[in-house]
Structure formats: structure tokens, C-alpha cells
């Protein structure tokens, strides 16, 4: 006998089955976010090129989004660091497993991202060769009005090639002393996007023009040079001996040791001028290289006037070096 108010067995069975079916349908229906068709899609290339010093995921991959709600996610993914970039014009290889680990290490759930990552990825860094023309232009900008008139740059040389990263390039060229033998020693610093990219020594091949005293008439041996005997002529010092007189006052009143023809420059060795440094004098040798200074004791092998290149023997090593006379006690080896 049925209890009062109870439903027939067939209806109760139908209700139970319907409830079970609804539960199964609700449990098995995929959510909108988990659907593969609606996930952001990461595609990593097998080869990519970067410009900066760090490899970012966005440099070697594309990230496709389904809608604008995924825009921030895609931006964050693109910024994931994959490590340091190689040297300019160099390359490195990344493993696909390492890329995936980097993504997970950055806090992303790779299960919510569709991705295609090759087994290995070759990453190259763009770069360019430093050109001589760049250094020449920077040197011209460095020289002031009078220096620019005196020094005519023909070329510039350094010992090795320098590969620079791409970016905003700034060159700082610093002359080290005066031209000698047609060469002007330089220190070159290169910065790219505010970061140091290269630093090295170089030398410019130059013509060095200067007004110097020249005899207006022939002066015989033993005669005194008067102001009327001198005129100033602009000459290329590269074509002159290293000991020519540069100032009128250094020649006037001096007695000649040999006959000097009209139109000739006046060499210190041809007139009676006490040397700034005498042969056998003890001097300090100053070495300058890459911004560093060192000194050593030495002995002059020959007489020398100020600014003249003479041979000096290092007192300790006994090596003979060529040095410029700075004062009676000091000579300096020019940077090479």
C-alpha cells in the first residue's frame, strides 16, 4: 500500500535519472576560459634577432590573444627574460625546455596558454662595425678653431676591429699630446645608448701646419741671426726635421754653426742654443698608456731641445726608448 502523498514509482525514477543527467552535463561542460580555442597562443620561432643586452620572450615569439581581456597577459609574457643576449654579431642557443621553465618561473600557468616551442632556438644579436669615418668626424669636432687650421686629418688607425651594438652612438675622441712624425695619438671612447661599448687607443695620420721662422737671406757660419733675417712661413711640420725652431725669439741673436740658405727653416742643431737636456743627463721617463701614468729613471743618450724627440736609456732595463723632451728633468714617451 502506497504512503499518503508519495509519487508513483515511475515518476520518481524519471526524476532521479533526470537529476543525474543534469549533474553530469554541468560537471563535464568545459568553461569558457579553459577552452583551447579561447586561450592566448604563444608561438616561438626557431631563430630570432635581438638588439639589446637581454633576451625577452617577445623578441623571439608572437603572442596571439582571443580578446582584449588577455592584452595585459600577452604584454607580461612578452617581457619574460630568457637571459643575457650574446655579444653584438654573436649568437647563442636556447633549449625549448629552458624557455618553458623561464615562463613558469615568471609565475605563468602554462596550462592556461596554448604554445608551440621548438626544441632549440638560435638567438643572434645585431651589431655593426665601428667605421673610421665616425672617429675622424668626432676628432674634427673635438679640435677647436686654431687646432683645426693647424691639424689636417688624413686617416685614422687602430689595432683591431670593434663591433658595436645597435643604438644611439656617442664617440669621445681625446688627442694625447701634439702630432709627431705625422701621427697624432688618440684615446677613443664609444658609448651606445648610454653604456660603454669600446675604449681604445688609436692614432690619426695628420698634416701639421704651423708658422715657423725661416731665413729671408742666406746666413753664413758664425754670423748672428738678426730680426731682419727672419720671416714667418706656414709649413707642414711632417716634412721638417724634428728640431726646427718654432719661435722667432729662439733664433734671434743666436750664432750659426753652419751656413743656412735663404728659405730654409732653422734647426736647433744649426745654431748655438744650449740644449734643454744634455747627453748623459739623468732624467725621469714618463710613460702614458690608456690613461695610466708610470715613471722610470733614465739617462739621455743625446742632447735635446724642448719638444724634441731624443733617445733615452732606461736605467733599470737598459732599453733605449724614444721620448719627447718636456723639461731639463723630464721626458715623455708618446702613446702608440
| Alpha-carbon gap, residue 29 to 113, rounded angstroms | 20
Lowest mean pLDDT among 17-21, 133-137, 316-320: 17-21
Q: Are residues 258 and 298 in the same domain?
A: no
The answer to whether residue 188 is domain-embedded is yes
Instruction: Name the average pLDDT for the chain.
Output: 88
Q: Are residues 121 and 143 in the same domain?
A: no
The answer to whether residue 276 is domain-embedded is no
CATH code for the domain in which residue 197 is found: 3.10.129
- CA angle centred on 331, ends 330 and 336, rounded to 5°: 145
Residue 103 near residue 94, CB atoms below 8 Å:
no
Q: How far apart are the first and last CA of the chain?
A: 119
- How far is residue 141 from each of residues 23, 189, 199, measured CA to CA in Å? 82, 14, 18
Q: Are residues 74 and 120 in the same domain?
A: yes
Last residue of a domain, one of 101, 125, 149: 125
The answer to whether residue 312 is domain-embedded is yes
Residue 38 has pLDDT above 90, yes or no: no
Last residue of a domain, one of 74, 106, 125: 125
The answer to whether residue 29 is domain-embedded is no
Higher pLDDT, 21 or 327: 327
Instruction: State the residue for C-alpha cell 624557455.
Output: 99
Lowest mean pLDDT among 152-161, 197-206, 299-308, 311-320: 299-308
Q: Are residues 87 and 148 in the same domain?
A: no
Residue 69 in grid coordinates: 581581456
Q: Are residues 40 and 116 in the same domain?
A: yes
Identify the three-state secondary structure at position 295.
strand
How does pLDDT run across 165-203, given as a tens digit for each residue? 999 999 999 999 888 888 999 999 999 999 999 999 999
Q: Are residues 108 and 144 in the same domain?
A: no
Q: Are residues 102 and 40 in the same domain?
A: yes
| Alpha-carbon gap, residue 62 to 77, rounded angstroms | 10
| Alpha-carbon gap, residue 182 to 153, rounded angstroms | 10
Q: Are residues 161 and 171 in the same domain?
A: yes
| Alpha-carbon gap, residue 325 to 305, rounded angstroms | 7
How does pLDDT run across 39-63, given as a tens digit for each residue? 899 999 999 999 989 999 999 999 9
- CA angle centred on 194, ends 188 and 195, rounded to 5°: 70
Residue 128 in grid coordinates: 655593426
Q: Are residues 134 and 170 in the same domain?
A: yes
Q: Are residues 54 and 91 in the same domain?
A: yes
| Alpha-carbon gap, residue 171 to 193, rounded angstroms | 11
The answer to whether residue 25 is domain-embedded is no
The answer to whether residue 293 is domain-embedded is yes
Residue 15 in grid coordinates: 526524476
Q: Are residues 98 and 42 in the same domain?
A: yes
Last residue of a domain, one of 172, 189, 207: 207
Sign of CA dihedral 197, 201, 207, 209: positive
Q: Which range of residues forms the domain containing residue 327?
A: 282-333
Number of structural domains in the chain:
4
Residue 243 near residue 269, CB atoms below 8 Å:
yes
SS (H, E, C) 192-236: ECCEEEEEEEEEEEEEEEEEEEEECCCECCCCECCHHHEEEEEEE
In this predicted structure, what is the pLDDT of residue 33? 45
SS (H, E, C) 78-95: HCCEEEECCCCCCEEEEE
CATH code for the domain in which residue 291 is found: 2.30.30.760
| Alpha-carbon gap, residue 203 to 208, rounded angstroms | 14
Higher pLDDT, 144 or 198: 198
Q: Are residues 254 and 287 in the same domain?
A: no
The answer to whether residue 14 is domain-embedded is no
In this predicted structure, what is the pLDDT of residue 31? 37
Spatial strand order of the sheet with 47-50 comes to 47-50, 120-125, 91-95
The answer to whether residue 28 is domain-embedded is no
State the pLDDT confidence band at 159, using cuts at 50, 70 and 90: very high
Beta bridge partners of 268: none
State the pLDDT confidence band at 1, using cuts at 50, 70 and 90: very low
Amino acid at each position: 500500500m502506497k504512503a499518503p502523498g508519495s509519487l508513483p514509482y515511475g515518476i520518481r525514477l524519471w526524476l532521479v535519472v533526470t537529476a543525474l543527467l543534469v549533474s553530469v552535463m554541468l560537471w563535464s561542460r568545459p568553461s569558457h576560459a579553459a577552452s583551447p580555442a579561447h586561450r592566448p597562443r604563444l608561438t616561438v620561432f626557431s631563430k630570432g634577432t635581438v638588439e639589446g643586452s637581454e633576451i625577452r620572450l617577445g623578441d623571439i615569439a608572437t603572442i596571439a590573444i582571443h580578446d582584449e581581456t588577455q592584452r595585459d597577459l600577452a604584454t607580461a609574457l612578452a617581457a619574460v627574460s630568457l637571459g643575457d643576449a650574446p655579444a653584438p654579431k654573436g649568437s647563442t642557443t636556447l633549449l625549448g625546455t629552458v624557455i618553458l621553465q623561464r615562463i613558469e618561473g615568471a609565475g605563468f600557468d602554462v596550462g592556461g596558454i596554448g604554445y608551440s616551442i621548438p626544441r632549440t632556438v638560435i638567438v643572434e644579436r645585431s651589431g655593426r662595425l665601428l667605421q673610421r669615418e665616425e672617429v675622424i668626424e668626432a676628432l674634427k669636432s673635438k679640435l677647436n678653431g686654431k687646432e683645426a687650421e693647424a691639424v689636417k686629418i688624413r686617416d685614422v688607425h687602430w689595432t683591431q676591429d670593434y663591433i658595436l651594438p645597435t643604438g644611439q652612438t656617442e664617440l669621445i675622441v681625446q688627442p694625447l699630446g701634439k702630432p709627431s712624425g705625422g701621427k697624432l695619438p688618440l684615446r677613443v671612447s664609444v658609448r651606445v645608448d648610454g653604456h660603454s661599448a669600446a675604449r681604445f687607443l688609436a692614432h690619426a695620420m695628420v698634416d701639421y701646419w704651423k708658422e715657423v721662422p725661416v731665413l729671408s737671406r742666406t746666413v753664413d757660419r758664425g754670423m748672428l741671426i738678426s730680426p731682419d733675417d727672419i720671416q714667418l712661413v706656414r709649413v707642414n711640420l711632417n716634412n721638417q726635421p724634428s728640431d726646427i725652431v718654432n719661435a722667432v725669439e729662439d733664433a734671434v741673436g743666436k750664432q750659426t754653426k753652419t751656413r743656412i740658405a735663404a728659405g730654409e727653416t732653422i734647426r736647433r742643431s744649426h745654431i748655438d742654443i744650449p740644449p734643454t737636456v744634455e747627453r748623459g743627463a739623468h732624467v725621469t721617463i714618463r710613460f702614458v698608456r690608456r690613461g695610466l701614468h708610470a715613471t722610470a729613471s733614465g739617462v739621455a743618450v743625446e742632447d735635446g731641445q724642448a719638444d724634441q724627440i731624443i733617445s733615452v736609456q732606461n736605467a733599470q732595463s737598459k732599453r733605449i726608448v724614444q721620448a719627447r723632451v718636456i723639461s731639463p728633468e723630464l721626458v715623455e714617451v708618446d702613446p702608440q
